[in-house]
C-alpha cells in the first residue's frame, strides 16, 4: 500500500500537513489571543486598569445613589481627592469603585478604612483591590503583628496591614511581585502551625489554658525558638463541627437511652446478640411459642458484665412505664422461648423528665413564698412576748417548785399560749418551706444535669439560640441553687433555734393547765406538801434549764439571721425566677420524644458514621518556628497530656494568595489556552472533514488500484500493509492534533498535551470509519481513471480531490492539476 505514496501524493500530503498545521495553529492561537484580549478588556472595564481603584463596594442597586452619595461624603471628609466610579449592576447589586488619592495610600489610612466606610447604605462592607498586592490568609490573629513586621522588612514591600483574618502586603511595583511572592513564601515556610488534637472522649476542660500551659512546657525545648499559643477554643472546620456534634449527640443519646441490665435465670446462658422479649407485668409473664409482635419490647444483649449479668439495648419498643420485666428468648422463628432473664431497666430520660417536672413545680411554689420572712418575724415577736413573761417570774428555780409556782407557771403559759401556738404554726410552715427548698435544689440539680448532658457543648456558637439559652439557663440555675441553699440553711438554723423550745413550752402549757386544775381540787388533800409538788413538777418535765434557755435566746441575733432570708427572696425575684421556670418548661418540651428503639437505631447509625473516623476533640494550636525537633515535640506533648493518642499535625503557617488581578490574568491565560484548544479541535474536525475525508474514503477502495497479489510485503510489512488505512488515519490525527496544539499554545488544565495524541488518533479513526459518509466517492470516475492507466496520485489530483469539498487540500491540489 505504501507504494501509492511513491508516485507523488505523499509529497502533496506532506505539504498539506505542514501548511494545515501551521495555518490551524495560527488560527487557533489567534482565536485564543482575541478571546484573551476581549476578556482582559472586559475585566479592565469592570475593575479598572491595574492600580486604578483601591476599594470595591457591592451595593444594593435600589440604594445605589444613596450609597454613592454617602461614599462621596466620606471621601470628602476623610480622603479628599479620591475618586468614585459606579460600575455595572448585576443581579440587584451595583459595583462601586473607589480610587484613593495617592497621598492617602498609607498604612494609617488602610488600617482605618473600616472605620471610615462602615455605614454605607445597602452595602455590607468593601473589598480591598489596591494593586500590586499579595495577601497572606489563614493567619492566627495573635501572630499577625509578627508576620506584618517581617513582611515589611522584605524589599519591594511598601507596607503590610491586617485585613480581617488576613494580612495584606502592598508592593511598591508590580514588577517586584515574583520576588516578593518568593520572599513571603520563604517567610511562611519558616513557621508552622502545630495542631494538637485529642481523640474522642479525651476531655480538655479549657483548651486555651491547656495551650498556654503547653507553651510554657515546650518553650525553648525541642528546637522551638518561637512558640505562641494561638488556640482559639473554637473549631473552624465544618466537618469538625459536624463530627463534634455527632459525638455529642451520641454521648447524649447514650445517657438518655434506657440502660438495660439482664440477669439470666439460673441455668440459662445468654450471649451478646441474643434477643429477649420483655413482659413487664409479673402477673402476665407470657408463654413460650407465642409470636413476637411489633409492639413488644425487645432487648438485644450487647455485652457481658460482672457476676454473670449482661448489658443490653432496647431495639424494639420503649421502656416507658416499667423498670423491671421478665425476658423470654426470641427464637429464629420470631417466637417467644423460655423465660431466660430478669431485665432491669433504668430510664434516665424518664427520670430527667420527672426531675424537670418537679423542679418546675417547686420553683413555682418558691415564687409564692415572699411572706416567709414576715412569718419568721412573727415567730420572733411571739418569742419576745414569751421571753418578757418568763423574765417577770422570779425564783423559777427547781428549789422553788411548789404549788403556787406551778400555778404561776400555768397562768404564764396560758397567757402566752396563743403566741406559742402561733410560733409553732409558723415554725411548721417554715419547716415545710425548708423541705420544699431542699427539694427544689434537688430538682434544679437535675435540670443542670440535663443542660450539661452534652447537648450543650462549650462551643455555643454551633448550636444557635437554643444552645445559648440553655447555657444561660445553666448559669442562672447554678446561681439559683446557691441562693436556695443559703435560704434553706438560714431557715434551718432559725427553726432549729426555736423549735425544740417551742415544742417543750407547748407541752408544758397543756400539761400545766391540766395540772393546775387538778391541783385546785387536790390542795386540801395534799396539805401543801412541797415534796409532792416537786414530784409533780418533775413529772411534767418542767426544768429551769428550759425556761432559762428560752429567756436567754438572743432574739436580736436571730433577727439578724433572718436578713439573708428577706434579701434572698428579693434576689430570687431579681434572678428572674419566672424566666428560669419558663426556660425549664421549654427544655422539658424540647426533650427528644424518642423511643428506646429509635435511640438504639440512631446510636447504631452514628457509630457506623463515626466508625473509623478520628473524632475531633478540642484542639490546641501553637504557632512555632518550622525547624523544630518533631520527635521531641511529640514526646513532650504526649507527656504533657499523658496520652499517646494525641495527634500532632504541622500545618502551614498561612496561605499566600496571589494578587487578584494576577489570578485573573492567570485564569484568562488558561481560558485563552482552552479556547485555543477548542479552536484546534474544531479546526481538526473541519480540516479532516474538508481535506482528509476524500483521501480516507479512497483508502476504503485501495484494492481497485493495488490488487492483493501485488503486495510483496512479508511479516510486519504485510501487517502494516493490511492495516495501512487505520495506521494512516490514527497516526495523522495524532500527529496533526498534537503538533497544532503545541504550536498554537493551546492547553486544557489537567489535560496533559500527550493526551491530544490519543484524541487525535481517535478523531483520525473516526474519520476513517465515517469517511464515505463525509465524502461520497464517485467510484465510476475512479474506476475510469484506473482503466485509463492513471496512478493513485493522478486519480486523487484529477478526480477525487476536485470533486471534494473546498479546502486547503483542494486549494493546494489545484496547482498540481492538469485538467483545471
Site for other proteins (CB under 8 A): which residue of 396, 705, 737, 757? 705
Q: Is 790 exposed, middle or buried (0-12, 13-18, 19+ CB in 10 A)?
A: middle
Q: Give the nearest distance from C-beta 12 to other proteins in angstroms.
A: 16
- By CB under 8 A, is residue 798 in contact with other proteins? yes
Residue 376's nearest CA partner among 206, 227, 270, 498 is 498
Question: Which of 685/779 has CB closer to other proteins?
Answer: 779
Site for other proteins (CB under 8 A): which residue of 102, 708, 714, 716? 708
Neighbours of 750 (CB within 10 A): 6
Q: Give the nearest distance from C-beta 720 to other proteins in angstroms.
A: 18
Only segment of 407-415, 433-441, 619-627, 797-805 that touches other proteins (CB under 8 A): 797-805
What is the per-residue binding string for other proteins in 109-138, x denoting contact by CB under 8 A? ------------------------------
CA distance 550 to 374: 21
Residues 16-45 that bind other proteins (CB under 8 A): none
- By CB under 8 A, is residue 246 in contact with other proteins? no
Consecutive H or E run containing 766:
helix 754-774
- By CB under 8 A, is residue 282 in contact with other proteins? no
413 in the Ramachandran plot: left (φ > 0), alpha (ψ -120 to 50) or beta? alpha
Strands 655-657 and 133-137: antiparallel
Q: Give the nearest distance from C-beta 693 to other proteins in angstroms.
A: 18
- By CB under 8 A, is residue 2 in contact with other proteins? no
Site for other proteins (CB under 8 A): which residue of 399, 557, 788, 806? 788
- By CB under 8 A, is residue 794 in contact with other proteins? yes
Q: Give the nearest distance from C-beta 689 to other proteins in angstroms.
A: 20
Q: Give the nearest distance from C-beta 780 to other proteins in angstroms.
A: 4
- By CB under 8 A, is residue 787 in contact with other proteins? yes
Question: Which of 284/708 has CB closer to other proteins?
Answer: 708
Instruction: Provide the 8-state DSSP code for 266.
Output: T
- By CB under 8 A, is residue 3 in contact with other proteins? yes
| Angle, CA 667 vertex, CA 55 and CA 657 arms, to 5° | 55
- By CB under 8 A, is residue 806 in contact with other proteins? no
| Number of residues forming the site for other proteins (CB under 8 A) | 28
Site for other proteins (CB under 8 A): which residue of 710, 718, 811, 815? 710
Only segment of 309-317, 407-415, 667-675, 777-785 that touches other proteins (CB under 8 A): 777-785
Residues in Cβ contact with 443 at an 8 Å cutoff, skipping those fewer than 6 apart: 355, 356, 358, 359, 360, 362, 363
Question: Which of 591/706 has CB closer to other proteins?
Answer: 706
Neighbours of 63 (CB within 10 A): 15
CA distance 404 to 64: 104
Question: Which of 41/815 has CB closer to other proteins?
Answer: 815
Question: Which of 344/803 has CB closer to other proteins?
Answer: 803
Q: Is 140 exposed, middle or buried (0-12, 13-18, 19+ CB in 10 A)?
A: buried
Site for other proteins (CB under 8 A): which residue of 611, 709, 715, 716? 709
- By CB under 8 A, is residue 702 in contact with other proteins? no
Neighbours of 297 (CB within 10 A): 26
CA distance 468 to 266: 51
The alpha carbon of residue 509 and the mean position of all alpha carbons in its chain are separated, in whole angstroms, by 71
Report yes or no: 223 and 631 within 8 Å, Cβ to Cβ.
no
What is the per-residue binding string for other proteins in 733-772, x denoting contact by CB under 8 A? ----------------------------------------
Only segment of 67-75, 350-358, 379-387, 702-710 that touches other proteins (CB under 8 A): 702-710
Q: Give the nearest distance from C-beta 800 to other proteins in angstroms.
A: 11
CA distance 434 to 496: 11
Question: Which of 87/802 has CB closer to other proteins?
Answer: 802
Question: Which of 525/788 has CB closer to other proteins?
Answer: 788
- By CB under 8 A, is residue 714 in contact with other proteins? no
Question: Which of 640/786 has CB closer to other proteins?
Answer: 786
For 205-235, give one letter per residue: b (16+ CB within 10 A) or e.
Answer: eebbebbeebbeebeeebebeebbbbbbbeb
Site for other proteins (CB under 8 A): which residue of 781, 808, 810, 812? 781
Only segment of 56-64, 144-152, 610-618, 774-782 that touches other proteins (CB under 8 A): 774-782
The alpha carbon of residue 349 and the mean position of all alpha carbons in its chain are separated, in whole angstroms, by 26
| Angle, CA 616 vertex, CA 612 and CA 620 arms, to 5° | 140
Q: Give the nearest distance from C-beta 818 to other proteins in angstroms.
A: 5
3-state secondary structure 199-243: CCCCCCCCHHHHHHHHHHHHCCCCCCCCEEECCCCCCCCHHHHHH
- By CB under 8 A, is residue 780 in contact with other proteins? yes
CA distance 75 to 120: 12
Q: Strand order in 655-657's β-sheet?
A: 157-163, 166-171, 133-137, 655-657
Report the interface residues with other proteins, using CB under 8 A: 3, 703-710, 778, 780-781, 783-791, 794, 798-799, 802-803, 818-819
Amino acid at each position: 500500500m505504501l507504494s501509492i505514496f511513491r508516485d507523488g501524493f505523499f509529497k502533496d500530503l506532506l505539504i498539506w500537513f505542514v501548511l494545515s498545521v501551521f495555518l490551524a495553529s495560527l488560527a487557533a492561537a489567534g482565536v485564543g489571543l482575541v478571546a484573551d484580549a476581549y476578556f482582559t478588556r472586559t475585566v479592565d472595564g469592570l475593575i479598572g486598569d491595574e492600580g486604578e481603584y483601591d476599594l470595591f463596594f457591592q451595593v444594593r442597586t435600589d440604594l445605589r445613589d444613596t450609597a454613592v452619595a454617602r461614599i462621596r461624603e466620606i471621601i470628602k471628609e476623610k480622603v479628599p481627592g479620591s475618586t468614585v466610579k459606579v460600575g455595572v449592576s448585576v443581579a440587584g447589586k451595583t459595583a462601586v469603585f473607589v480610587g484613593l488619592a495617592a497621598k492617602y495610600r498609607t498604612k494609617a489610612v488602610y488600617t482605618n478604612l473600616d472605620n471610615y466606610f462602615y455605614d454605607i447604605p445597602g452595602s455590607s462592607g468593601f473589598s480591598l483591590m489596591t494593586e500590586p498586592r499579595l495577601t497572606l490568609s489563614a493567619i492566627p490573629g495573635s501572630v499577625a503583628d509578627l508576620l506584618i513586621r517581617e513582611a515589611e522588612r522584605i524589599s519591594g514591600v511598601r507596607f503590610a496591614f491586617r485585613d480581617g483574618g488576613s494580612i495584606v502586603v502592598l508592593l511598591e511595583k508590580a514588577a517586584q511581585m515574583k520576588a516578593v511572592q518568593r520572599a513571603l513564601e520563604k517567610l511562611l515556610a519558616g513557621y508552622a502551625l502545630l495542631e494538637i488534637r485529642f481523640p474522642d472522649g479525651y476531655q480538655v476542660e479549657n483548651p486555651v489554658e491547656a495551650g498556654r500551659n503547653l507553651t510554657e512546657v515546650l518553650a525553648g525545648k525541642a528546637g522551638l525558638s518561637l512558640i505562641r499559643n494561638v488556640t482559639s477554643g473554637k473549631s473552624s472546620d465544618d466537618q469538625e463541627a459536624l463530627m463534634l456534634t455527632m459525638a455529642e449527640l451520641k454521648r447524649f443519646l447514650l445517657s438518655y437511652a434506657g440502660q438495660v441490665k439482664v440477669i439470666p435465670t439460673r441455668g440459662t446462658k445468654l450471649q451478646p446478640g441474643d434477643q429477649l422479649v420483655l413482659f413487664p407485668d409479673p402477673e402476665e409473664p407470657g408463654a413460650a411459642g407465642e409470636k413476637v409482635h411489633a409492639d413488644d419490647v425487645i432487648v438485644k444483649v450487647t455485652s457481658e458484665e460482672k457476676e454473670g449479668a449482661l448489658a443490653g439495648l432496647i431495639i424494639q419498643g420503649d421502656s416507658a412505664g416499667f423498670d423491671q420485666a421478665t425476658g423470654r428468648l426470641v427464637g429464629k422463628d420470631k417466637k417467644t422461648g423460655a423465660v431466660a432473664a430478669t431485665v432491669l431497666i433504668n430510664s434516665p430520660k424518664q427520670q430527667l423528665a420527672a426531675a424537670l417536672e418537679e423542679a418546675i413545680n417547686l420553683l413555682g411554689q418558691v415564687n409564692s413564698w415572699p411572706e416567709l420572712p414576715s412569718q419568721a418575724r412573727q415567730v420572733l415577736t411571739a418569742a419576745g412576748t414569751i421571753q418578757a413573761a418568763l423574765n417577770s417570774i422570779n425564783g423559777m428555780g427547781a428549789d422553788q417548785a411548789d404549788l403556787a409556782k406551778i400555778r404561776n407557771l400555768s397562768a404564764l403559759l396560758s397567757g402566752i399560749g396563743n403566741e406559742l401556738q402561733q410560733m409553732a404554726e409558723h415554725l411548721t410552715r417554715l419547716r415545710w418551706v425548708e423541705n420544699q427548698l431542699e427539694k427544689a435544689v434537688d430538682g434544679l440539680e437535675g435540670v443542670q444535669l440535663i443542660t450539661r448532658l452534652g447537648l450543650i457543648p462549650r462551643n455555643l456558637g454551633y448550636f444557635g439560640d437554643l444552645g445559648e439559652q440553655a447555657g444561660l439557663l445553666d448559669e442562672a440555675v447554678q446561681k439559683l441553687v446557691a441562693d436556695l441553699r443559703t435560704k434553706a440553711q438560714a431557715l434551718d438554723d432559725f427553726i432549729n433555734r426555736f423549735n425544740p423550745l417551742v415544742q417543750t413550752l407547748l407541752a408544758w402549757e397543756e400539761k400545766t393547765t391540766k395540772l393546775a386544775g387538778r391541783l385546785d381540787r387536790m390542795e386540801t388533800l395534799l396539805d401543801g406538801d412541797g415534796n409532792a409538788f416537786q414530784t409533780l413538777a418533775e413529772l411534767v418535765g418542767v426544768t429551769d434549764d428550759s425556761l432559762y434557755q428560752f429567756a436567754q435566746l438572743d432574739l436580736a441575733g436571730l433577727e439578724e439571721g433572718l436578713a439573708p432570708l428577706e434579701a434572698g427572696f428579693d434576689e430570687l425575684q431579681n434572678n428572674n425566677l419566672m424566666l428560669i421556670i419558663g426556660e425549664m418548661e421549654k427544655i422539658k418540651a424540647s426533650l427528644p420524644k424518642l423511643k428506646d428503639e429509635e435511640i438504639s437505631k440512631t446510636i447504631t447509625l452514628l457509630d457506623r458514621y463515626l466508625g473509623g473516623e478520628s473524632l475531633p476533640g478540642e484542639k490546641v494550636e501553637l504557632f512555632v518556628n518550622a525547624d523544630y525537633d518533631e520527635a521531641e515535640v511529640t514526646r513532650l506533648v504526649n507527656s504533657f497530656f499523658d496520652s499517646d493518642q494525641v495527634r500532632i499535625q504541622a500545618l502551614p503557617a498561612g496561605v499566600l494568595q496571589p494578587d487578584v488581578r494576577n489570578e485573573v490574568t492567570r485564569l484568562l491565560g488558561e481560558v485563552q489556552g482552552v479556547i485555543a484548544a477548542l479552536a484546534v479541535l474544531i479546526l481538526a474536525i473541519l480540516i479532516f472533514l474538508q481535506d482528509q475525508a476524500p483521501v480516507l474514503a479512497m483508502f476504503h477502495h485501495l484494492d481497485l488500484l493495488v490488487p492483493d497479489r501485488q503486495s510483496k510485503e512479508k511479516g510486519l510489512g504485510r501487517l502494516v500493509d493490511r492495516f495501512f488505512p487505520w495506521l494512516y488515519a490514527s497516526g495523522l490525527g495524532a500527529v496533526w492534533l498534537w503538533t497544532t496544539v503545541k504550536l498554537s499554545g493551546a492547553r486544557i488544565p489537567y489535560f496533559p498535551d500527550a493526551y491530544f495524541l490519543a484524541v487525535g488518533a481517535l478523531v483520525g479513526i473516526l474519520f476513517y470509519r465515517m469517511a464515505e459518509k463525509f465524502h461520497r466517492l464517485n467510484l465510476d470516475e475512479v474506476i475510469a481513471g484506473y482503466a485509463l492507466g492513471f496512478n493513485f496520485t493522478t486519480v486523487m489530483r484529477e478526480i477525487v480531490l476536485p470533486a471534494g469539498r473546498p479546502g486547503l487540500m483542494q486549494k493546494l491540489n489545484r496547482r498540481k492539476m492538469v485538467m483545471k
